[in-house]
Amino acid sequence: MKMTNVMLALAAGVCLAGAAETIALPKPTVDSGVTVLQALKDRHSCRSFSEQEISLETLSGVLWAANGYNRPDKRTNATGLNKQTIEIYACMKTGAYRYDAKANALVKVCDADLRNAVADHQPYAAKAPVSLLIVADVSDPVYSKKWNTLTHYDAGIVSGNIYIYCAANGLATVCRGSMDRDALRKALKLPETKVLHLNHPIGRPASK
Ligand SMILES: Cc1cc2nc3c(=O)[nH]c(=O)nc-3n(C[C@H](O)[C@H](O)[C@H](O)COP(=O)(O)O)c2cc1C
């Protein structure tokens, strides 16, 4: 079934798993026909978003590029010490969802629209239909001393993957360090061991 946009998909495709709503994602689109070199040529930050929803297939592709599995136990993004502790949250009008890469699904974690908290003092970012949060779980003791900045680099690699997928698929995005971390931590009930590194508003570019 071809989903036309995220809202339609939410209305049609949401299933209940216990108390949590889970959206099964369609297989990601990985054949835009654009070469990596062309995507690198086109990569840029865009801060002007159309409010038009993006399809669930497109969102699935962005998430896969960001932090999905491209081998049975390894991912599209490299991580220091192969810890794979990066998590992606998708903030949308209908709530916030954690990307379950193994199941290729979005698991609802919050009913509220958190895009204003993601945008913080830069309102342009709240216009995008989806904002992805790049979060690291640093509960492993390895991160407490010598490797305490390792997940910062991990997050940067995820951001690069998102930029390249967006460039190859005509999507607008910008990597952002700004966000209301306290509000997001509270709404998502994140423990102190989860670090909100970066975010990426994603949508279609606003027409000029
Ligand atoms: C770690 C990091 C944090 C950033 N934070 C913000 C931000 O909070 N707000 C914003 O508008 N742009 C942010 N940017 C985007 C940069 O401003 C942008 O990449 C830079 O101006 C170069 O433009 P380009 O991406 O089009 O090459 C950030 C970029 C990086 C890598």
Model pLDDT for residues 146-169, shown as the tens digit of each residue: 899 999 999 999 999 999 999 999
pLDDT by position in tens, the chain (length 208): 344 444 444 443 333 333 359 999 999 988 889 999 999 999 999 999 999 999 999 999 999 999 999 999 999 999 999 999 999 999 999 999 999 999 999 999 999 999 999 999 999 999 999 999 999 999 999 999 889 999 999 999 999 999 999 999 999 999 999 999 999 999 999 999 999 999 999 999 998 6
Give the model confidence (pLDDT) of 1-35 as tens digits: 344 444 444 443 333 333 359 999 999 988 889 99
Residue 89 CB burial class (10 angstroms; 0-12, 13-18, ≥19):
buried
Extract the tokens encoding 32.
Answer: 């835009």
Work out the angle at residue 190's Cα, subtended by the Cα atoms of residues 186 and 194, and round it to the nearest 5 degrees: 135
Question: Residue 163 CA: which ligand 1 atom is closest?
Answer: 25
Question: Which of 120, 174, 179, 195 for mutating ligand 1's site (highest number of atoms within 8 Å of CB)?
Answer: 174
Counted domains in the chain: 1
Closest CA to ligand 1's atom 19: 45
Closest CA to 187 of 92, 96, 116, 93: 96
DSSP-H helix ranges across the chain = 6-13, 36-42, 56-67, 115-119, 150-168, 181-188
Closest CA to ligand 1's atom 31: 175
Length in residues, the chain: 208
1 domain-assigned: no
Q: Ligand 1 mean position to 152 CA, how many Å? A: 15
Share of the chain above pLDDT 70, in %: 90
179 domain-assigned: yes
Residue that has been written with the tokens 């690699």 in this structure? 157
Q: What are phi and psi of 93, to 5 degrees?
A: -55, -40
Give me the chain's average pLDDT, please: 91
208 domain-assigned: no
pTM of the model: 0.92
Question: Residue 44 CA: which ligand 1 atom is closest?
Answer: 26
165 domain-assigned: yes
Residues of the domain holding 102: 6-203
CATH code of residue 75: 3.40.109.10
d(CA 65, CA 202): 13
